[in-house]
Structure 1
Amino acid sequence: MYIGQAAHRSGTTIKSIRHYEAIGLLPPARRRGNYRVYDQHSVDLLSFIKCAQQLGFKLKELQAAFASQNGQPLSWVQAQQAITNKKQEINDQIAALTQRHAQLVEFESSLHHAWENCALEGP
């Protein structure tokens, strides 16, 4: 299939496909004259990349995972490890945001307390 059909089937754009090829996420397509020709494996890989991005993976993270494959398809074990790492990253962010929220609540309370003291001691 040509690039337009691969883009449509994977839910990506032609521009994205060209970009993924340029940065090594997608192997270069076979050529039929001046046209790129993609197979179902490429469409599956494009769908995987799109889904991973929607779940918070950065292209650089995907590049690192794919680079360790030396041209071989990403294995389930490696995909699972990448998912585990991303979940831990999100848990760390949640913990940091929870702590920041608690600090803001405490700060707000201290400001409110100081304001009440000033209002009581006023002229």
Structure 2
Amino acid sequence: MRIGELAARTGTTKDTIRFYEKIGLVSGQRLANGYRDFPPETVMWLHYVRTAQTLGFSLAEIARTGDALRQAPDTAEALSALFEEKVRVVDARMIELTALRAELTERIGTGCPLRPSQHPH
């Protein structure tokens, strides 16, 4: 299918699809007339990409695991390890954000909140 149809069927833009193609998330063949032609399974794949982004996966992470996901996109086993790793990343980020929040709260009303903190952490 051509890029316009793919964009319409996936709720993306042609520019997004071109970008995804540039970074290797999707691939299409060039027809003799220069148009891109994408296989029908690209629709489902782009839905996976969008869902993965919603779940906090970066495009780099999706690209890195893309081949494995394309082979078995619906199996719990294939995805569980990825989700477990993402939970660990989220947990670590939550700890960082909690510390950042405490630091910001401590600086409220100090008169010069950009000076180094007086309390070692």
Matches within 5 A, 1:21-40: 21-26=21-26, 28-34=27-33, 35-40=35-40
TM norm structure 1: 0.68
Matches within 5 A, 1:73-112: 73-75=71-73, 76=75, 77-108=77-108
Aligned-residue RMSD, C-alpha: 2.8
| Cα distance, 1:21 vs structure 2 | 1.9
More relative contact order in 1 or in 2 (CA 8 Å, sep 6+)? 1
User: Are the aligned partners of 2:45 and 2:70 in contact in 1 as well (CA < 8 Å)?
Assistant: no
Question: For this pair of structures, how many residues does the alignment match?
Answer: 108
| Cα distance, 1:18 vs structure 2 | 1.9
Q: Which structure dedicates a bigger proportion of its chain to helix? A: 1
- Moved segments of 4+, more than 4 Å: 106-109
Distance in 2, Cα, partners of 1:3 & 1:91: 38
| Cα distance, 1:61 vs structure 2 | 0.9
- 1:107 and 1:21, CA in 2 relative to 1: closer, same or farther beyond 3 A? closer
Matches within 5 A, 1:8-87: 8-26=8-26, 28-34=27-33, 35-66=35-66, 69=68, 73-75=71-73, 76=75, 77-87=77-87
Bigger radius of gyration: 1
- 1:74 and 1:65, CA in 2 relative to 1: closer, same or farther beyond 3 A? farther
SS at 2:36 equivalent: strand
| Cα distance, 1:63 vs structure 2 | 1.4
| Cα distance, 1:10 vs structure 2 | 0.9
Q: Percent identity?
A: 32
Distance in 1, Cα, partners of 2:39 & 2:25: 15
